A and B are shown apart, each in its own frame.
Chain A
Amino acid sequence: MALFRLKLNRSKYLLLLFLPALVYYILFKYVPMFGILISFKDYNPFKGIWQSDWVGLRYYSMFFHSPDFPKLLRNTVLLGVYKVVFGFPAPIVLALLLNEVRKGIVKRLVQSISYLPHFISNVVVVSMLFLFLSPTSGLVNHVVEWMGYSSINFMQNENYFRTLYILSEIWQHIGWETIIYLAALSAIDPQLYEAATVDGASRWHQLRHITVPGIMPAIVILFILNIGHVLDIGFEKVLLMLNPSIYSTADVLSTYVFRTGIQAMNYSYGTAIDLFTSVVNLLFILTANWISRKTSETSLW
């Protein structure tokens, strides 16, 4: 007991710093979790959560039997996987490239410019897509026509949706996401590079044997965290891009929940689908963590 009090006393400032985060998680993450109850109930806002009638797994089975279920799951998983496959390495590559730039001013300029899109709202990004890619007045299609091809109806073609979504996603976030890697890079001991230079290692060798291993723990941790969000597709951006001609590739779980759960006020149904999404995400993150623990020393826990 005395020991505990001593420890508490010693780390009181650290605990004080931790307090806001704790309050945030309890207030905004743990307390609302109680609300998942409504996915097992026929939720009536007037009666309240407790008084609503239990319906068991009715909304879950309704969702799994919906004719749209396979399509929605496929679209969501594919979009999520593409996002990890193409979106995850992009900031690493940019960070490594920036690391090789010698002129500080160039490096800082590139960094600032690549950060900027992160602060543009999705609404603006999507309307930029519409403007640039419009088949009637878009800049891109002017170039396409100038090269002798007929204009392409980018936003109304289901085959372009995933590409456009992922590319714009990378453009938006690449700069922002390099920050953490640049921080990891700066933590690598410069003596290692000096020693390597003395031993005659080329820049390529230095990159392979010092830089990449140096930031590997950061890469693994971020990868695992990213895997945990495979099914969390940024809802507003898809919704903004969505139109009837691309439903077959663009309609994802979150847009479906928005239409049938929120707009049509089937709150229980929407909650059931969201809980399902979270469970799948949890399975993904557990698997990734397990594999990582088996094959390397780095893992979340």
Chain B
Amino acid sequence: MGASVVLGACSNNNNEASPSPSASASTSASAGASASAAPAELTPQTFTFLNYSNPSWPYDANWKIWSYIKEKTGVTLDIQLPAGNLLEDAISLAIAGGDMPDIMWTQEKRLADKFGQQGALVNILDYVDDMPNFKAWMAKYPAETQNMLSSDGKMYEFPNQGLGESNRRTWMYREDVFKKLNLSTPKTWDELYETLKKLKAEYPESYPLTVRNGLRYFEDFAAGFGVSAPVDAQRASAYLDGATGEWKYAPVQPAYKDMLVYFNKFYKEGLIPKDFLTIDTKMWQDIVSTNRAFVTLDYIGRIDFYNSALRKDNPDFSMNFMAPPAGPSGLQKNAFTAVTEEGFMISSKSKKIKDIVKFIDFFYSDEGHELVSWGKEGDTVSGDSFIEKYTDISDLRKKTGLSTDGTYTWFDFNAHISVSSPELKSAYEQAPQFDNAKTSTPPFTPEEQQVLSTKGDSLNSHRDENFAKFIMGTRSFDTWDKFVEEQKKLGYEEILEIYKKSGRARESGREVSNKRNKQ
């Protein structure tokens, strides 16, 4: 580590014609495998960077992470924040205005694909030879790399690994209440129904199963029925069927109906809130914290969020990990949500592209991995634990800036686990065994994207409207076949065909690159 600092300090050779890739490769090789060298050729310089500021840990220029990055790479990031915190708008404005920052952060890959194919972003694959660490990383994480490709085979956003784990969602339950009533956690959806009924009988004012965000988490519920697919306004409910390896459309599957039948029963008997479609984060938190919900499904970190906040007044309060109940066919699964699409993009108009890729290459070195996850040895971290005691992840983020937006790409999730409570730690250990197969949306061409967002919108709003009606009982399940017919008329088959086609294209692309790697 010390060696690279020295190298960084006396790096004045950058102005000679751009250093050859082989030269930088040899420096990294000589530094050893465990701590490959920082891009020592970089002189102190500044890149403009359009970043996102998360309201839960708002951007702070004094965070330690920025000085760490500068120390290791010589780079000062001149950070611009999007007006009104609307990153997407800020990026398209910057592109349309022709005055793009050197680097931009995105939360969604579709944005990178769209603007990349329009010519606004650098194709990262053109610069792989300048990025020895990234090259090695891609060989280590082929799936993460492939999933970041655009439909034209290029790559406009840097792939990430590690922090996706914080997006993991899981079932949770009130362990203390279950113990008090002598209930065991439900093993199946039928048991879930019985358990919720018992809870309701004991607490008539409660809605034993409460989740937020309307129909969004039906993606997770559906995993037990083998039909887990996104249910949001922007995406079609297509899923890759494990048995056949084919893309299928979830809402028309009989198993989906089975799940909606359960929810219809839940609704009728008051086991879910009557206004379940409009429960927002605040209402959900109110209901959970006032002992009116005992089973919920959300981001895994919420275990600590509730426990640390509510134990002050109610020392017995215990929210804990619950294994997913098995669906009718015995499937005991959670949707695979441990992914994030956040990452760096580089402006094609930047004059410093060569320097920027070298800068970002640092984030793919073992040293960079260590630095963005744990900070600096002796300053924030000692061995494999943080020096200061942080109450939770957001405390860590707010105090140091570690793992906030725009500071990472390859992340060691053990850093997060180390600040978790014993309950959350054990949840992290148990959760992966229930993971559904990991699938990712295939990349679409701009034409396909347009069909998905216009025709797809009619399909999605019809889907959501009718899910709501089936659950609330305003539409009878006798008309299920008619619903399937309506969805067909709105063109789910065309949408599905797009998924199949792009899925196949990605598969064949994978084979080509595998062959290339073997040669």
| Chain A residues in the interface with B (C-beta under 8 A) | 44-48, 62, 66-68, 130, 134-136, 151, 153, 155-156, 243-245, 247-248, 251, 256, 259-260, 263-266, 269
Contact = CB atoms under 8 A, between A and B. Distances in A.
Given A67-B490, A136-B207, A156 B215 contact: no
Given A46-B115, A153-B274, A251 B234 contact: no
B3 interface: no
17 contacts: A45-B92, A45-B120, A46-B95, A46-B118, A66-B458, A130-B278, A155-B275, A156-B468, A244-B215, A244-B464, A244-B468, A245-B469, A245-B474, A247-B462, A259-B234, A265-B111, A266-B450
Interface in B109-134: 111, 114-115, 118-120
Contact of A245 (B92, B454, B468, B490): B468
B98 interface: yes
A150 to B, nearest CB: 10
A247 B98 CA distance: 38
A253 B450 CA distance: 18
B453 interface: yes
B62 to A, nearest CB: 32
Given A45-B95, A48-B96, A244-B468, A156 B275 contact: yes
Q: Among A263, A265, A266, which residue has the most Cβ atoms of chain B within 10 A?
A: A265
B277 A245 contact: yes
Given A67-B458, A153-B275, A264-B454, 10 more contacts: A45-B120, A66-B458, A68-B458, A134-B275, A155-B275, A156-B278, A244-B467, A259-B457, A263-B233, A265-B114
A251 B458 CA distance: 11
Given A134-B275, A156-B275, A251 B461 contact: yes
Interface of B: 88, 92, 95-96, 98, 111, 114-115, 118-120, 207, 214-215, 233-234, 273-275, 277-278, 449-450, 453-455, 457-458, 461-462, 464-465, 467-469, 472, 474, 489-490
A243 B215 CA distance: 10
Contacts of A245: 277, 465, 468-469, 472, 474
B275 A135 contact: yes
B472 A68 contact: no
Contacts of A62: 454
A243 B118 CA distance: 34
A264 B234 contact: yes
B278 A155 contact: yes
Nearest to B115: A46
Given A155-B275, A265-B92, A260 B207 contact: no
Contacts of B120: 45-46
B219 to A, nearest CB: 15
A8 B446 CA distance: 56
A120 B277 CA distance: 25
A150 B461 CA distance: 29
Nearest to B119: A46
A39 to B, nearest CB: 14
B453 A260 contact: yes
Contacts of B474: 245
A159 to B, nearest CB: 10
Nearest to A63: B454
A177 B98 CA distance: 43
A62 B467 CA distance: 27
Nearest to A135: B274
Nearest to B463: A244
A44 B116 CA distance: 11
B486 to A, nearest CB: 10
The 3 closest A-B pairs by CB, nearest first: A264-B453, A244-B464, A245-B468
A48 B278 contact: no
Given A244-B464, A260-B457, A156 B490 contact: no
Contacts of B98: 48
Given A151-B274, A244-B214, A247-B464, A269 B95 contact: no
A156 B472 contact: yes
B372 to A, nearest CB: 30
Nearest to A62: B454
Given A46-B120, A136-B207, A247-B465, A156 B233 contact: no
A256 B467 CA distance: 20
A45 B454 contact: no
Q: Among A47, A136, A243, A269, which residue has the most Cβ atoms of chain B within 10 A?
A: A136
A72 to B, nearest CB: 10
A277 B215 CA distance: 31
Q: Among B98, B115, B455, B457, which residue has the most Cβ atoms of chain A within 10 A?
A: B457
B118 to A, nearest CB: 4
Given A48-B98, A245-B469, A245-B472, A269 B454 contact: yes
A260 B275 contact: no
Contacts of B465: 244-245, 247-248
A184 B111 CA distance: 53
A100 to B, nearest CB: 42
A48 B120 CA distance: 11
A243 B450 CA distance: 24
A247 B431 CA distance: 36
A265 B118 CA distance: 13
B353 to A, nearest CB: 16
A66 B469 CA distance: 23
Contacts of B92: 45, 265
Contacts of B207: 136
Contact of B118 (A45, A68, A135): A45
Given A45-B92, A45-B96, A48-B98, A68 B457 contact: yes
Contact of B275 (A44, A136, A259, A266): A136
A141 B327 CA distance: 36
Contact of B457 (A130, A156, A244, A256): A256
B351 to A, nearest CB: 17
Contacts of A264: 234, 449, 453-454, 457
Contacts of A251: 461
Nearest to A267: B92
A48 B454 CA distance: 23
B118 A259 contact: no
A265 B450 CA distance: 9
A10 to B, nearest CB: 44
B472 A66 contact: no
Q: Among B114, B115, B273, B458, which residue has the most Cβ atoms of chain A within 10 A?
A: B458
B469 A68 contact: no
A251 B465 CA distance: 11
A45 B98 CA distance: 9
B278 A243 contact: yes
B243 to A, nearest CB: 30
Q: Among A155, A260, A263, which residue has the most Cβ atoms of chain B within 10 A?
A: A260
B453 A243 contact: no
A247 B120 CA distance: 36
A136 B284 CA distance: 12
B273 A136 contact: yes
